Structure 1
Amino acid sequence: MDAEAQESFRQFVANRSSALLKTAVLLSGGDRHAAEDLLQNALIKAAGRWHQIDEPEAYVRQILYRQQVGRWRLKWPRRELSVAEPPETAPGADLSAAAELRVVMRGALARLTARQRTVLVLRYFEDLPEADVARLLGCSVGTVRSTTHRSLARLRRLAPELAALGQGREPQPPSRDFSPVEVHR
């Protein structure tokens, strides 16, 4: 890699790594260490082909998705979730309901299979159309639809407390931290 490409890659990593890490955390079910590994592997792969890449962020995101698909196809064992940092808070705001929702959502997502979680992250966090999700995962649009439907149903069964969190409270603005899916009953 020449000096210009190296500097371009460094700038990309500095500017976009936090957003890419958020996606990786969601894809890995909240396991920050697995997410960091996922992102690091994706960036290594991208660095090797940097001079050929037209849209770097799209390329790295696709690597993230494909690596995650490879992980759930291999049926890797689940890892324990450990959180070292409390949720972010805005100065002067009472975000206890939003924090509670993120914690419940993270736990509920972690109880889904990797395939279900990946489909939900791509559909609702990344806001990709079904056709794009199908292309990324190498399956049909019908499979994406049925997996989405079943995943949301399972999420509702696994975390009925999500419905209780929204009752009697004003709707919270959507947070892209760890609440990629709005679950309604």
Structure 2
Amino acid sequence: MSEGIDGEFTAFVNERGNVLLRVAYALAGNQHGAEDLLQNALAKAYARWPRIRGDAEPYVRRILYHDQVSGWRLRSRRPEVPVAVLPDRAGEHDRGHDVDLRLLLRDALLALPPRQRAVLTLRYLEDLSVEQTAELLGCRVGTVASQASKALSRLRQLVPALDGHVTEEVR
């Protein structure tokens, strides 16, 4: 590839790389997995850069979502380990409570099926509409709505402390 294309690609990565890494982290659930996921997506994008450079970010995001869902399908799911009692929580006024809640939420998100996790990431982290999410995932609007509803319900079961924070609105 020519120097101009390399420069454009490098500028794109420098400008949007951190945002894309946050999306990859939300999908992968850990830093190393996110870095691998983003690196693979950027490698695929680089190979097609002359065709996509005007619309690169949506293309890379689509690669991230599709690669992560494909990876979930290929790996056997980690079994859920039920516990009789949730760990003690810090007081409501303590900032440690927020950290505890975030960790519980992260673990609960990791326990969701791949499609539900992808739907929640697109809808609530990426703030996409139901229609945009359906288009990106290649499914129907009703599928997105039902997967979001099931995922939110499951999150409420796994993390009861979220009860006041998670709403039913999925459209």
TM-score range, shorter chain: 0.7 to 0.9
Q: Secondary structure at the match of 1:6?
A: helix
> 1:83 corresponds to which residue?
none
> Structure 1 residues 22 and 78, CA, compared in 2 at 3 Å: closer, same or farther?
farther
1:72 lines up with 2:55 in the alignment: no
Equivalent pairs counted in the alignment come to: 153
Deviation at 1:184, TM superposition (A): 4.5
**What's the Cα RMSD here?**
2.1
RCO higher in structure (CA 8 A, sep ≥6): 1
Partners of 2:72 and 2:136 in 1: how far apart?
14
Identical residues among aligned pairs (%): 50
Which residues in structure 2 correspond to 1:111-150 (within 5 Å)? 111-150=111-150
Which residues in structure 2 correspond to 1:39-54 (within 5 Å)? 39-53=38-52, 54=54
Deviation at 1:77, TM superposition (A): 2.8
Which residues in structure 2 correspond to 1:31-180 (within 5 Å)? 31-53=30-52, 54-74=54-74, 76-78=75-77, 95-163=95-163
- Runs (4+) of structure 1 exceeding 6 A deviation are none
Partners of 1:13 and 1:97 in 2: how far apart?
35
Deviations 1:16-57 (A, max 9, x none): 1111111111112x1222211111110001101111111211
Q: Which runs of 5+ in 2 are unaligned?
A: 79-93
* Farther-moved stretch of structure 1 (154-163 vs 36-45): 154-163
Q: More helix by proportion, 1 or 2?
A: 2
Deviation at 1:151, TM superposition (A): 0.5
Partners of 1:59 and 1:21 in 2: how far apart?
14
Letter in 2 for 1:183: V
Q: TM-score, normalised by structure 2?
A: 0.80
Q: TM-score, normalised by structure 1?
A: 0.75
1:23 lines up with 2:23 in the alignment: yes
Deviation at 1:95, TM superposition (A): 4.4
